[in-house]
């Protein structure tokens, strides 16, 4: 299975009401690791918040280092 170009995260209240649906794009981090990342603003009950989602593939830095050799 190929790596998806993005995944979708849902931000929900404690009662399950969906506040926001957020696409999280693939990213090659400066450290050499790979994964998914987004940074954006969302509104909850009239207040604005800055949101950051980061998913790092475990072991991907070692895979990137071995590809360089």
* Tens digits of residue pLDDT in 11-54: 999 999 999 999 999 999 999 999 999 999 999 999 999 999 99
Residue 51 inside a domain? The answer is yes
Q: How many other C-beta atoms lie within 10 A of the C-beta of residue 13?
A: 10
Residue 1 inside a domain? The answer is no
Average pLDDT over residues 53-67: 83
pLDDT grade for 66, boundaries at 50, 70 and 90 = low
Give me the DSSP letters along 1-68. Answer: -PPPSEEEEEEE-TT--EEEEEEEEEEE-TTS-EEEEEEEEEEETTEEEEEEEEEE-TTHHHHHHHHH
Q: What is the pTM of this model?
A: 0.80
* Structural domain that includes position 64: 6-68
Residue bearing tokens 């590809």: 67
Number of domains in the chain: 1
Residue 41 inside a domain? The answer is yes
């Amino acid at each position: 299975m190929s790596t998806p170009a993005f995944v979708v995260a849902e931000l929900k209240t404690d009662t399950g009401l969906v506040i926001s649906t957020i696409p999280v794009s693939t990213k090659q981090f400066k450290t050499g690791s790979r994964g998914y990342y987004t940074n954006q603003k969302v509104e909850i009950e009239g207040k604005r918040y800055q949101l950051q989602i980061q998913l790092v593939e475990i072991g991907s830095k070692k895979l990137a280092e071995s590809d360089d050799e």
